Amino acid sequence: MAEESGAPVNCTDLPLKRPRQDEKNGGSAAAMETEGDNNDTSNNVNGADGIPSVIPGWFSEISPMWPGEAHSLKVEKILFQGKSEYQNVMVFQSSTYGKVLVLDGVIQLTERDECAYQEMITHLPLCSIQNPKKVLVIGGGDGGVLREVARHSSVEQIDICEIDKMVVDVSKEFFPDVAVGYEDPRVTLHIGDGVAFLKAVPEGTYDAIIVDSSDPIGPAQELFEKPFFESVAKALRPGGVVCTQAESIWLHMHIIEGIVSNCRQIFKGSVNYAWTTVPTYPRHWCDWFHALLN
């Protein structure tokens, strides 16, 4: 995909981003056991119905969002484990996908395939309008979307609203090639709730809004409902564009149908569906909706 200057946007071998969910809300039950004294995880958990989700030396991801299946990665070393005000945060070194960021048991990005997600969710909307100048990113605390937005020379202002500061700090430490986006002088970081931030934005502020959201479970459910898209439309200038992640067509058709219905009522310009393959996402698939405000 090319940016406005005509220079190619390269898909480097970096990490990926993906929806997260809260275990307290029936979310994922991820389990990991690694070999060796330095990686003891004696508090391994079981998956659905009490079936063990642990294979020695592997991280496994089980969730009601993708029932009946799980994705596993071989673990070489756990690099970080912590609990923020909002979620459990972990980084581990995998044997095949480089370093991996996990939030509440759900893989957010890996160094190997993050480019597929970051580039599509960013360049799809920004290349669909002329000379975008003001861009808002909701979520995306790892900084990968910022990195891609910064490739567009016409952009003068990049705001990001991320609720969890630990995600930002951990990304800067362990994923510098992704979090490099924070170093751009056009970027302003706002730590807080994206829904509340958007409601306070003056009408017609942004040319583009990119919603790098969590799974529609718990608090993130708001980001998939009609009132949220109405707030997005209010914050966009006429002719502005929004792009939001929309789960997987193989697993979440009901979610996709709801987004289509809401967006067609609110965004009178056009509403389009896009997808790409992301190996470490459920069914190796990720979808987006791209809507223009007429």
Q: Which residues are catalytic?
A: 212
Which residues face 30 on adjacent strands?
none
CA dist 10 to 24, 73, 115, 147, Å? 39, 26, 9, 12
DSSP H or E run through 277: strand 270-277
**Long-range contacts (CB closer than 8 Å, 24 or more residues apart) made by 194-197:** 194/138, 194/139, 194/161, 194/162, 194/163, 194/223, 195/222, 195/223, 195/228, 195/231, 197/138, 197/161
CA distance 102 to 109: 7
Q: How does 161-175 read in b/e, with b if 16+ C-beta sit within 10 Å?
A: bbbbebbbebbbebb
User: How big is the CA angle at 268 (ends 19 and 144), to the nearest 5 degrees?
Assistant: 30
CA distance 285 to 86: 26
DSSP H or E run through 117: helix 114-126
Q: How many CA atoms lie within 13 A of 204 on its CB side?
A: 4
Residues 62/53, Cβ–Cβ less than 8 Å: yes
DSSP helix/strand/coil, 159: strand
> Environment class of residue 214 by beta-carbon count within 10 Å: exposed (0-12), middle (13-18) or buried (19+)?
buried
